[in-house]
A = this chain, B = another copy of it.
């Protein structure tokens, strides 16, 4: 139906050079500039006929603008980087999905970098993204590269944190309300009648978001006048596991009647341990864990958890970052997302 002479038909398009703007311009008998104006919707001083000719030429040639050329001039990549520990995680994959959905809606792309909990890989990812000139970065940082991150921020790279805070900065971060969540979980156990609640955690001295959880736990104990016994704080490390075995903890003088785990990895390892030792949940000990568990409804004992909102966190992080990218002067923000307790069957009143 085109009024233009069709191109000689080429069977194998692979050998055909990509159509470019100049081809469109020639076919429409206008200059490159005019076609560019057209593409960018600046019709202020363009006649209807010219518009029609250009539209037809674009269609005829099946022209698609080259975003690389466009980005070179604009000095933007329309791409952000996302640095996470492992995209494979239950919550993490959902956070990524949130980031990605938001980005796609804004014509941005997200590049994922996995660090596998290695600060060095984290540093390399940061550098790679910087060199790649992404427009911004969302990071769940290890807390070991704070100085480095500050340097990139100083260089003008917009950076948004999630999950773990960047020490010394209350800015541009989005996280769950860990303190409130830990308070709620602890209170929930207390109201069930628990007095000796074991707080199972990674070292939280230099990591705010872990510290916050502890603060919530401690606050709940205090509110109900329950002594905060340091023996009930049990430590776990990714590499070495539990400092004291859960079994030995349960056999100690101050045996807890409930476990409160601060991370899915801890919950998982605890569960394995308890399984092996034939310690029954919730009959022998109650359990509430941070982070939701996939397919928990099919568990021998479905575990009650504090559910974070990873998808929402991802969306909000992306939103915050894009705001930062597009308005450099805006004030930075700290956004808190509420958690909620998903009651399942791992918490009951203590026996004794």
Contacts and interface: CB of A to CB of B under 8 A. Distances in A.
Contacts of A275: 297-298
A77 B68 contact: yes
Contacts of A111: 109-111
Interface string A321-334: 00000001000000
Interface in A116-151: 130-133
Contacts of A75: 18
A225 interface: no
Identical chains in the assembly: 2
A319 to B, nearest CB: 18
Interface in A254-301: 268, 271-272, 275, 293-295, 297-300
A306 to B, nearest CB: 17
Interface string A153-178: 01110000000000000000000000
Task: Report, nearest first, the 7 A-B pairs whose CB atoms are least far apart.
Answer: A14-B156, A294-B294, A93-B93, A88-B93, A300-B300, A68-B72, A64-B131
Interface of A: 12-14, 18, 64-69, 71-72, 75, 77, 86-88, 90, 93-94, 96-97, 100-101, 104, 109-114, 130-133, 154-156, 268, 271-272, 275, 293-295, 297-300, 328
